[in-house]
Copies of this chain bind each other. A is one copy, B any other.
Amino acid sequence: MKQLSLILFLFFLFSYTTTTAQSYSGNKEDINSILTNLSNFSKAVMASDYQKIGNAYTIDAKIFPNNKNIIKGKNAIITYWTLPEGIKTKYHKINPEEIKIIGNEAYDYGYYEGITLKTDGKEISWKGKYVIVWKKINQEWKIYLDIWNNIRD
């Protein structure tokens, strides 16, 4: 019985490890810089700091929001992210599954989740998945392509 418990324990530990495994490939400094940028992006979204959100992108970045054409350029991207008065993103988190550095470019994919606080006080939870293509510009990693779509609960 003890042995069975141990086997079950190891099985669940293994399942847990494999399903949450993250694969980061590249030098530590670049990986950490991208992880910090992802975390700061969420912070900027939660603070409704649209200039900071804009600065996360390259000047010629492209975003691909659902049901819209490709939105090109930092200024158009800031306009897209700007929420109507009174609406806030209360919670935002990005969980990368893989980051791969290839010289001055990188790709990254994973999941995101968030909670929107509406003017009537109602909260809407959402989650989705994304792919980002990064470019290193003047030693800073910036988002060049940013595409995502939702996961239905």
Hey, which bits of chain A sit against chain B, CB under 8 A? Answer: 62, 64-70, 97, 100, 102-103, 105, 107, 109, 111, 129-131, 133, 145, 147-152
A66 interface neighbour in B65, B107, B149, Cβ under 8 Å: B149
Instruction: Report yes or no: A129 in contact with B67, Cβ–Cβ below 8 A.
Output: no
A15 to B102, CA, bound (A): 34
A100 to B130, CA, bound (A): 19
Instruction: Report yes or no: A151 in contact with B103, Cβ–Cβ below 8 A.
Output: no
Closest 9 CB pairs of A and B: A67-B152, A66-B149, A149-B149, A131-B147, A102-B102, A107-B133, A64-B129, A147-B147, A70-B129
A102 to B144, CA, bound (A): 15
A148 to B97, CA, bound (A): 18
A101 to B149, CA, bound (A): 25
- The copy count of this chain in the complex is 2
Distance of A68 from chain B, by nearest CB (Å)? 7
Instruction: Report yes or no: A150 in contact with B66, Cβ–Cβ below 8 A.
Output: yes
Distance of A135 from chain B, by nearest CB (Å)? 10
Instruction: Report yes or no: A64 in contact with B149, Cβ–Cβ below 8 A.
Output: yes
Distance of A21 from chain B, by nearest CB (Å)? 11
**A103, A145, A150 interface centre (most CB from chain B within 10 Å):** A145
Q: Which residues of B contact A70 (CB under 8 A)?
A: 97, 109, 111, 129
A107 to B108, CA, bound (A): 12
